[in-house]
């Protein structure tokens, strides 16, 4: 087990700068997920940690030890790829055992016939088989050991790839979108398995995905990356409730966070659509800002209170019934794109298209961003809000 520390990692491919000085401390035993849109540099960063790619500048430390000049196999980390990279002509057992065979047996001992008569070979094979069995048991694939990869499901292949990484007892697991080949249902199952595996092994996991649901559900902390820079590194709930930038706010959460244009008044309060909201920020009077509200933080037709914002009047322009929740799209007069409200299907009764409605939210749930998309701190220190705990109405 080991911590992983990145200091000012820079990387360019030809003239294109891909990583712009990435610094990140990952604690021993932590599950950190690196998330961000396609092409933002996630795989490149992971490959740099693994030693599969050389960075131009900066340091990589694994367990406090600089590893910049060590080859991949000397870094004691295991990488699991999206494609699993299993050997098709080997059995599951052979695939899992491969790193041990390569490490513990010389070229002669590996030969099927000559190896058998060389001293010590049998004993080594036995200990490798025992370790392979132990890992297979943890992953629940003991019954598959004699099969070949082609005879496995996607989820089973993924577990074999994990098993091959596990037999080495690495200091850290690096996983690059290991679930992206699975269908949606299997992925939900597999991500619970990986989170459980992390708890049992207690080893550092660095997990790359562009799927924000994966990032939010499995990790101790999430690092949001865009354009080769880390925008925010924080526990999932903090990323969701207090995004550091508007880009982070938009990237995390489905449906996307609602954004409304607003400006700051001379008393610091935010004015939206001609109404003053009980939301104050430290910014100059007249500053153009954007207020952002999660779909579940908006309520239909709630009464106005001191904590609630003045009602926004609009009309229903779309209703998406998703079973466990309903998404109501509301066009607000003169305020651009419709807002999306997440509601409990049982609570809305007979809502119809074109119906006039009002929307409110609680002031605590509003994030405010400046014109550059940076989060503006709220002037009156309020308790950080947990949207999941907010009651509607
Ligand atoms: N060997 C290479 N040569 C040139 N450019 C590269 C190379 N590898 C990656 N890139 C570029 O670097 C950028 C980052 O790539 P990277 O694979 O790290 O992205 P990613 O965040 O993993 O994306 P995805 O989610 O699609 O896997 C991309 O623009 C990519 O085209
Ligand atoms: Mg990638």
What sections of the chain are H helices per DSSP? 42-50, 92-104, 107-110, 114-117, 121-139, 154-166, 184-201, 212-218, 236-241, 246-251
Those residues whose beta carbon sits under 5 angstroms from the ion ligand 2 are 43
Residues 221 and 260 in one domain: no
Residue 322: DSSP 8-state: -
Q: Which domain holds residue 336?
A: 243-389
CA of 7 to the centre of ligand 2 (A): 21
CA of 42 to the centre of ligand 1 (A): 8
Straight-line distance from the first to the last Cα atom of the chain, in angstroms, rounded to the nearest whole number: 48
Residues 374 and 292 in one domain: yes
Q: pLDDT tens-digit profile of 208-224? A: 998 888 899 999 999 99
Q: Is-contact 25 233, C-beta < 8 A?
A: no
Count of structural domains, the chain: 2
Residues 27 and 164 in one domain: yes
Asked whether 41 lines ligand 1 (CB < 6 A), one says: yes
Mean pLDDT confidence for 167-193: 85
CA of 228 to the centre of ligand 1 (A): 10
Residues 74 and 191 in one domain: yes
Q: Is the pLDDT of residue 239 over 90?
A: yes
Q: pLDDT tens-digit profile of 254-293? A: 999 999 999 999 999 999 988 999 999 988 999 999 999 9
Residues 303 and 355 in one domain: yes
> 3-class SS at 309?
coil
Q: pLDDT tens-digit profile of 125-141? A: 888 889 899 888 888 88
- For the chain, give the mean pLDDT: 89
Higher-confidence position of 268 and 304? 268
Residues 121 and 14 in one domain: yes
Mean pLDDT confidence for 54-68: 95
Residues 180 and 299 in one domain: no
End-of-domain residue from the set 208, 240, 272? 240
Residue that is written with structure tokens 């098709």 in the block? 88
Phi then psi for residue 329, to 5 deg, are -95, 125
Query: Hey, which of 16, 43, 53, 210 would you mutate to test ligand 1's pocket, going by the most ligand atoms within 8 Å of its Cβ?
Result: 43
- Find the CATH number of the domain harbouring 254: 2.40.50.100
Q: Is the pLDDT of residue 386 over 70?
A: no
* 225 CA: nearest ligand 1 atom: 21
Residue 169's region, left for phi above 0, alpha for psi from -120 to 50, else beta, is left
The whole-number pLDDT of residue 304 equals 65
Residues 36 and 102 in one domain: yes
Q: pLDDT tens-digit profile of 139-149? A: 888 999 999 99
**CA separation, residue 25 to residues 31, 60, 348, 372 (Å):** 12, 10, 46, 27
Q: Is the pLDDT of residue 117 over 80?
A: no
Higher-confidence position of 77 and 104? 77
């Amino acid at each position: 087990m080991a911590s992983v520390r990145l200091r000012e990692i820079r990387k360019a491919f030809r003239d294109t700068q891909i990583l712009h000085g990435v610094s990140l401390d990952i604690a021993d035993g932590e599950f950190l997920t690196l998330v961000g849109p396609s092409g933002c540099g996630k795989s490149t960063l992971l490959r740099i940690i693994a030693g599969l790619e050389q960075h131009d500048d900066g340091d990589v430390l694994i367990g406090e030890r600089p590893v910049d000049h060590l080859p991949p196999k000397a870094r004691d980390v295991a990488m699991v790829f999206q494609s699993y990279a299993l050997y098709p002509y080997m059995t599951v057992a052979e695939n899992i055992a491969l790193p041990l065979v390569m490490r513990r047996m010389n070229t002669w001992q590996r030969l099927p016939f000559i190896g058998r008569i060389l001293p010590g070979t049998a004993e080594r094979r036995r200990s490798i088989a025992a370790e392979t069995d132990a890992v297979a048991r943890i992953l629940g694939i003991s019954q598959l050991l004699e099969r070949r990869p082609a005879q496995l499901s996607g989820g089973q292949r993924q577990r074999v790839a994990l098993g091959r990484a596990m037999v080495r007892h690495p200091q850290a697991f690096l996983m690059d979108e290991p679930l992206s080949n699975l269908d949606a249902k299997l992925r939900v199952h597999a991500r619970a398995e990986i989170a459980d595996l992390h708890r049992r092994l207690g080893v550092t996991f660095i997990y790359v995905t562009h799927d924000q649901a994966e990032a939010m559900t499995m990790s101790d902390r999430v690092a949001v990356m865009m354009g080769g820079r880390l925008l925010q590194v924080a526990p999932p709930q903090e990323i969701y409730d207090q995004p550091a930038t508007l880009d982070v706010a938009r990237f995390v959460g489905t449906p996307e966070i609602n954004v409304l244009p607003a400006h700051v008044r001379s008393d610091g309060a935010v004015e939206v659509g001609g109404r003053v909201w009980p939301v104050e920020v430290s910014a100059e009077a007249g500053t153009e800002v954007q207020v952002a509200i999660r779909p579940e933080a908006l309520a239909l037709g709630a009464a106005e209170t001191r904590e609630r914002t003045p009602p926004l009047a609009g009309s229903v322009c779309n209703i998406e019934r998703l079973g466990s929740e309903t998404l109501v799209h509301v066009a607000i007069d003169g305020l651009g794109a419709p807002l999306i409200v997440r509601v409990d299907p049982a609570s809305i009764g007979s809502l119809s298209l074109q119906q006039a409605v009002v929307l409110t939210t609680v002031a605590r749930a509003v994030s405010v961003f400046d014109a550059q998309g940076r989060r503006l701190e709220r002037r009156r220190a309020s308790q950080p809000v947990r949207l999941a705990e907010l009651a509607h109405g």
